[in-house]
Amino acid sequence: MQFGIFTVGDVTADPVTGVTPTEHERIKSMVAIARKAEEVGLDVFATGEHHNPPFVPSSPTTMLGYLAAQTDKLILSTSTTLITTNDPVKIAEDFAMLQHLADGRVDLMLGRGNTGPVYPWFGQDITKGIELAIENYHLLHRLWREDVVDWSGEFRTPLQGFTSTPRPLDGVPPFVWHGSIRSPQIAEQAAFYGDGFFANHIFWPTEHFVRLVEFYRQRFAHYGHGAPEQAIVGLGGQVFMRRNSQDAVAEFRPYFDNAPVYGHGPSLEEFTEQTPLTVGSPQEVIDKTLTFRENFGDYQRQLFLMDHAGLPLVTVLEQLDLLGEVVPVLRRELDARRPADVPDGPTHEALVATSLAAAGPELEVSAR
Amino acid sequence: MTPRTIAVVSTGISQPSSTRLLADRLAAATSAYRPDGTQIVTIELRELAHDIVNHLLTGFPSPALQRAIDQVVAADGLIAVTPLYNGSYNGLFKSFFDVLDPGAITGKPVLIAATGGTARHSLALEHAIRPLFSHLRAVAVPTAVFAATQDWGSADSSGDALTARIERAGAELAALIDQRQPAAAVDPYALATPFDELLRSRGA
């Protein structure tokens, strides 16, 4: 089981102090947060990708490349990489380069993006979002697996005799998650390729995502990648902790009430009841997170959103210290409950081992 | 045979409300033209007002709002009644239909009705409310019912009186429901097109 954090990378005024960080401060705070994640024993840091204010992470592989040099164990990922508006050729190149620099500590989550103007800014049409995701990923998938690609499609210029360099590390492409909050087509895409499906259920009721994840699991089995229980599932989460539950609620409430995404809407109490948000003691976070497994089955990756709504860096780092206490408990509980034939979270080493095992008999034959 | 259902969406703001009074009479009139029996589900948007605004802000419905949406989507027919504000539907009424998924009430028979202070505003049903349901691709019956304050005190001797209009609209909705197959539940988690077809359509 892998645990980590994902960041949107928004520059938001602290509603308590009124202070808005500069872009430079926000970028450096993301670096500090990622380093802290490794320090407290988390497995994954994932950054969003945005191309409009008030967000800073327009260039994820630049940031993750820097983090690769600053960390030793952390898996560097995205949440999400825009498969609709980025050129799949550039995604193939950028992430393969990052994978080499990070010695394999890289995967990525693909998403369509929901900011309308980004599509025309990058020469695309939002009404073709699903079609772009399907065509672009199919090309990306081939670029990482075929040394020479001939290709033509609707959305980019054709390729003749194209080789994407560098080739993936050890011949194994970075693991891909497909993120979606609504579309069964994306769950279907993840299932078709045997890739991971990340259900970012932090803003929506569980019931909706239970059905989406179940659909993905059934289709994963349909396409012959294993049993439904063996499909690779990631989930979101959102927590704010203090030792004393009431302290957590009192401190977080002004951030909740003014948060860009859900502020001025439902009450903190309604939101915590209806979504995975947990505001309380570390034990409450443990209890709530364990219900995810009951709802979704054994899963491979849990990412928490920790740096948002204008929370100051010092508070986020304190939260990560507390998360560092919570995660070992969750890891022990969830690993103990996961059957032996259900895979653990994907790592480069595991994918290399699987690839060697698959190639094994053939190598023996050719040796004879 | 399971009875056909009609969802009544009433946007009465005061309690008691003439909008609800009109909604109930329209539901009763429609039922009277359906001898096989009709199940009526009434949704008071006032009770869901905060949930509707929250849905606009967060993108997801509360459990209570989800139940109301499910009832509307699953119904064989819809009776939609709003008070007129500034010559159009009130904001709460519009917001409820704004949070429905695209296509949620496509093809659904709808009886549209409104209440207002004077009959001078009655054409708002034709220039504001009917176009809303055209946009939603619902099928509004020809007779739209407007009840002005004055109507509640009028005798029913003339053919244009409120009761006659309610009867005519109810008969139209009942006939439209009877012409149609029962509303089929749409599973938003089911995929119409398998992936290899999605991929083939890309020429890949």
pLDDT at A182: 85
Lowest mean pLDDT among A203-207, B159-163, B186-190: B186-190
* CATH superfamily, domain at B4-200: Flavodoxin domain (3.40.50.360)
d(CA A189, CA A352) in angstroms, rounded, equals 23
CB-nearest partner of B204 from A138, A191, A266? A138
Nearest chain A CA: its distance from B107 CA (Å) = 23
Residues 31-60, chain B: which have Cβ within 8 Å of A? 53-54, 57-60
pLDDT at A368: 39
Percent of chain B whose pLDDT exceeds 70: 92
Mutate to test the interface with B, among A128, A204, A216, A218 (most CBs of B within 10 A): A204
C-alpha dihedral sign at B81, B82, B84, B87 = negative
Length of chain B: 204
Res. B204: pLDDT tops 70: no
Give per-residue pLDDT as tens, B90-123.
999 999 999 999 999 999 999 999 999 999 999 9
Nearest chain A CA: its distance from B45 CA (Å) = 17
Between A282-296 and A313-337, two packed helices, what is the crossing angle to 10 degrees? 50
Domains of chain A and CATH, by start: 2-367 (3.20.20.30)
Q: Which residues of A touch B54 (CB under 8 A)?
A: 265-266, 270
d(CA B175, CA A252) in angstroms, rounded, equals 56
pLDDT at A366: 46
Per-10-residue mean pLDDT, chain A, length 368: 97 97 98 98 98 97 98 98 98 98 98 93 94 97 98 96 98 97 92 96 85 95 97 97 98 96 92 93 97 96 97 98 98 97 97 90 50
What is this model's ipTM?
0.83
Which three-class secondary structure string do you get for B90-151? CHHHHHHHHCCCCCCCCCCEEEEEEEECCHHHCCHHHHHHHHHHHHCCCEECCCCEEEEHHH
pLDDT at A367: 43
Res. B158: pLDDT tops 80: no
Average pLDDT score over chain B: 92
pLDDT at A359: 82
Between A282-296 and A206-222, two packed helices, what is the crossing angle to 10 degrees? 40
DSSP letter, residue A249:
H
Q: How confident is the model at residue B202 (pLDDT cuts 50, 70, 90)?
A: low
CB-nearest partner of A192 from B53, B195, B202? B195
